A and B are shown apart, each in its own frame.
Chain A
């Protein structure tokens, strides 16, 4: 029989909030690349405005965690869950900032002619958003193995980043007039690479929440 029903309901509510916040950020990441592809400045402005909602949601969850710690003295896996949530929402919020960063680059680019059709950047975004989505599944399902699997996929994003960097470097070497545009695309790639790295941090917290072991699992190239 569960005897701390109120406490455990509140804890579940926090986990649902984390999931909702995660899906806001996943959407922001996907939309930021759409905005880049479509040169959709209006969409970029929406993403920038939505980031405020994400930040507010993060403080909202943090406040709930503090309340639970202060009033319910959580122990064992409950305590680890709340501590993990505090770290995870920070990472999600930062991934949201990376999406906002991409949206700001879209605004900066404005209606400059495209340098090249975008291939690898959308792949990076798709991969990073997918990793984020699955890391939160692993969080909800308390699945440490799934979390470890996601960490190992960060190399794919790093490899795409290498590829984008090499390609854009070639453009710049061939024609210095492309430097501004190419550099902006490198910033976009960098934002996506950081997003995937932050997902690996989320995964580390999921492993801690489930096993109680703190371990650094991703030694990123970048």
Chain B
């Protein structure tokens, strides 16, 4: 399905197909309802930011798309979650294959305690690629895409833990890219980084969005405003369940939000 004509601050995503879709999705952790009735269409090859106060279910929401919530005991999903129109909570879905298509970058850079090379090679090896020539190609391409090649080309054999925080985070992005995903979920990818490293990641996201669908959870509203094409604002209701308040082009959400609750949040009238 085509998105409605939308012009965002960074690029026109009006013609983009819907990549991910949720319909009336609710998420429960045991008796606790974490998300209520979320319906949202996320366009492909664009950056969609999820913003909202702490505890409103932003991370839970993006974890729906690679079924990371499955790992939590007692987690249940109601409603429909689709990738390219295919329901991903269907029993026939291979979760490993899903997570190859939907990669994830976390808040704290979490490189494996091994070499730079082996970090990036980890995913492809798991998926059966073992020829050294082929791996070298993948690693070079991924590190280039993650804007890290020039920094690490002479130290591929060194421990990934010797890199700076910003470099480690870009390495984690390279690790995701190595398995050629279609979607990249980013859960506060810059919250542990300094401002310069943050801006580098934002630039990188913009370049990656030409090819990948990116969803980013961020506490930093200026980051959402700078870096995303679409923005969704989530809030907690009285029972602490997260709900979607407003979703639209970033350029509109930050200049003329439709819902008073969005307005109050982004202008800092409530926290």
Chain A residues in the interface with B (C-beta under 8 A): 1-4, 7-8, 73-80, 211-212
**How far apart are the CA atoms of A3 and B267 in the complex, in Å?**
9
Chain B residues in the interface with A (C-beta under 8 A): 221-222, 225, 254-257, 262-263, 266-271
Assess whether A79 is in contact with B269, with CB atoms less than 8 Å apart.
no
Closest beta carbon of chain A to B104's beta carbon, Å: 28
Would you give 28 A-B contacts (Cβ < 8 Å), ordered by A?
A1-B271, A2-B269, A2-B270, A3-B269, A3-B270, A4-B267, A8-B268, A8-B269, A73-B222, A75-B221, A75-B225, A75-B254, A75-B255, A75-B266, A76-B254, A76-B256, A76-B257, A76-B262, A76-B267, A77-B263, A77-B267, A79-B254, A79-B255, A80-B255, A80-B256, A211-B256, A212-B255, A212-B256
**How far apart are the CA atoms of A205 and B263 in the complex, in Å?**
19
Assess whether B267 is in contact with A78, with CB atoms less than 8 Å apart.
yes
* Chain B residues within 8 Å of A74, by CB: 267
Assess whether B263 is in contact with A4, with CB atoms less than 8 Å apart.
no
Main secondary structure, interface of B, reads loop
* Chain B residues within 8 Å of A80, by CB: 255-256
Closest beta carbon of chain A to B175's beta carbon, Å: 33
Closest beta carbon of chain B to A186's beta carbon, Å: 43
Assess whether A76 is in contact with B270, with CB atoms less than 8 Å apart.
no
Q: B226: nearest residue on chain A (CB-CB)?
A: A73
Closest beta carbon of chain B to A214's beta carbon, Å: 11
Closest beta carbon of chain A to B219's beta carbon, Å: 14
Closest beta carbon of chain A to B244's beta carbon, Å: 18
**How far apart are the CA atoms of A76 and B256 in the complex, in Å?**
5
Known: A212-B255, A212-B256. A76 touches B271 (CB 8 A): no
* Chain A residues within 8 Å of B266, by CB: 75-76
**How far apart are the CA atoms of A7 and B268 in the complex, in Å?**
9
The residue among A4, A8, A74, A75 with the most chain B CB atoms within 10 A of its own CB is A75
